[in-house]
Amino acid sequence: MSAFRFLTAGESHGQTLGVTVEGVPAGLPLTADDLQVDLARRQRGYGRGARQTIERDRADIVAGVRHGLTLGSPILLLVANRDWENWTRVMQVEPLDTAAAEELAALAGDGNKRAAPVTRVRPGHADLAGALKYGFNDVRNVLERASARETAARVAAGGIARAFLRELGIEAWSFTAEVGGVAVDPANTTRPRDEADASPLRCPDPDAEERMIARIDEARSNGDTIGGVFEVVVHGLPIGLGSYVHWDRRLDAALAAAVMSINIVKGVEFGLGFEQTRRFGSAVHDVIGGRGDGGRWVHRTNNAGGLTGGVTNGEPLVVRGAVKPISTLARPLPSADLISGEAVEKAHYERSDISVVPAAGVVGEAMVMLTLATFVLEKFGGDTMDDVRASVARYRERIAQVPETPVAGARRHGLVGSDEASSGGDD
């Protein structure tokens, strides 16, 4: 069983999203305001659509916290969909009685798009495969759950992971690294983190941001959409999270799966990523500089993005997610009808964003933090925050120590802190 897990529920235009988070130790200070910050960040960003003017996401903590402290029991968060008020009949949970069915049919007959079943499947969405897989003749049953509205619940859960990691000195943030082929110039990332976070695209390079905005405007004026790349950076991780001993204990693999799970992400890189394949090894591998201040190990560069052998190496973690252009175009692509199987001129159009790289970055942060929280708890365990803090402190102390000089043929591994270290004595 995973040490820290979460499960979301909810449809895009249903009454509410929900998420249960399990495995959070007792004694973590937590309020709804703590979760608010990231939820608001997910809603922002130049290129978002009208939905964000309707929603004011807030996660209500309805279980697992008492008097501002976690109880160690499952935490249940609810994020209401304000837009639900416009969809009550279309999305109602109870069976449709005759009167309600007639009302819905009349709305559809009057040209109300919400009320009409969706059959013109949209390219780039789960519509076709989902409808066939689950046996639906109305694609709304697919798109309501496949929609990235669900990521609001993930970001709420990520807020808990953030509060947990922060207690241990671990901090994550993200920024927009690229939009439509315009990339941040590392030599021109002049904005400090707070300023970058508040900018229209959450971008540290003001010049690049201007050109990124122009690309989004270009897409908008053509009824088109555009993608990009976000980068998540995490500071304060101890060396040794994850393991090289088995594939499913590698932290890089778990993080790649977590970031890849975001609806819209089509690739994941760590550090230099695919660029490594174009260089000689001498221009890729991070030279180990030795033990620095306070016993901390340092590398001269961080091309690996903080992970080697699936294990954190003490450098900042750097993960990038490739965001495809939004699938729903204001000028819809041709497609086909689910029922007739015939080609149609225009796919179904559902109100949509044009570009979501900054928002996807916030979801990326959440997925990274949730994954790190799992690995931290697996390594350091603990039913209470005090237990976890003490265990992390003990570990940090141990790895800062100088190991015993090894002796060839010694029958012990020289474990630091063990009285018998490298004694060579019999078992």
Ligand X SMILES: Cc1cc2nc3c(=O)[nH]c(=O)nc-3n(C[C@H](O)[C@H](O)[C@H](O)COP(=O)(O)O)c2cc1C
Residue ranges in contact with ligand X by CB under 6 A: 49, 125-126, 146-148, 151, 262-264, 324, 326-328, 352-353, 356, 359-360, 363
Which H/E stretch holds residue 290?
Answer: strand 288-291
- Give the position of tokens 């750097």: 318
- Nearest approach in angstroms of CB 325 to ligand X is 9
CA distance 396 to 425: 28
* Tokens standing for residue 97: 């009685």
- Closest CB to ligand X among 327 and 384? 327
- Closest CB to ligand X among 148 and 168? 148
* Tokens standing for residue 7: 């499960």
Q: Is 146 helix (H, G, I), strand (E, B) or coil?
A: helix
**Residues paired with 20 in a beta bridge:** 7, 76
Give the DSSP letter string of 239-258.
Answer: TT-S-SSSGGG-HHHHHHHH
- Nearest approach in angstroms of CB 360 to ligand X is 4
- Closest CB to ligand X among 3 and 212? 212
- Quote the radius of gyration of the chain (alpha carbons, Å): 25
- Nearest approach in angstroms of CB 369 to ligand X is 16
First to last CA, the chain: 33
- Nearest approach in angstroms of CB 238 to ligand X is 30
The sign of the torsion formed by the CA atoms of 128, 133, 136, 139 equals negative
- Nearest approach in angstroms of CB 348 to ligand X is 11
Nearest to 165 by CA among 373, 399, 384, 413: 373
CA distance 299 to 317: 13
- Closest CB to ligand X among 127 and 286? 127
Q: Can you give 71-109 as a three-state secondary structure string?
A: CCCCEEEEEECHHHHHCCCCCCCCCCCHHHHHHHHHHHH
CA distance 14 to 197: 30
The residue type found at 83 is D
- Closest CB to ligand X among 27 and 228? 228
- Nearest approach in angstroms of CB 135 to ligand X is 20
Nearest to 139 by CA among 123, 148, 126: 126
- Closest CB to ligand X among 49 and 267? 49
- Closest CB to ligand X among 148 and 156? 148
- Nearest approach in angstroms of CB 264 to ligand X is 4
According to DSSP, residue 139 is labeled T
- Nearest approach in angstroms of CB 329 to ligand X is 8
- Nearest approach in angstroms of CB 139 to ligand X is 12
* CB-count burial class (<10 Å; 0-12, 13-18, 19+) for 29: middle
CA distance 126 to 359: 20
- Closest CB to ligand X among 189 and 263? 263
- Nearest approach in angstroms of CB 255 to ligand X is 17
**Residues paired with 228 in a beta bridge:** 179, 323
- Closest CB to ligand X among 319 and 326? 326
- Closest CB to ligand X among 241 and 262? 262
* CB-count burial class (<10 Å; 0-12, 13-18, 19+) for 343: exposed
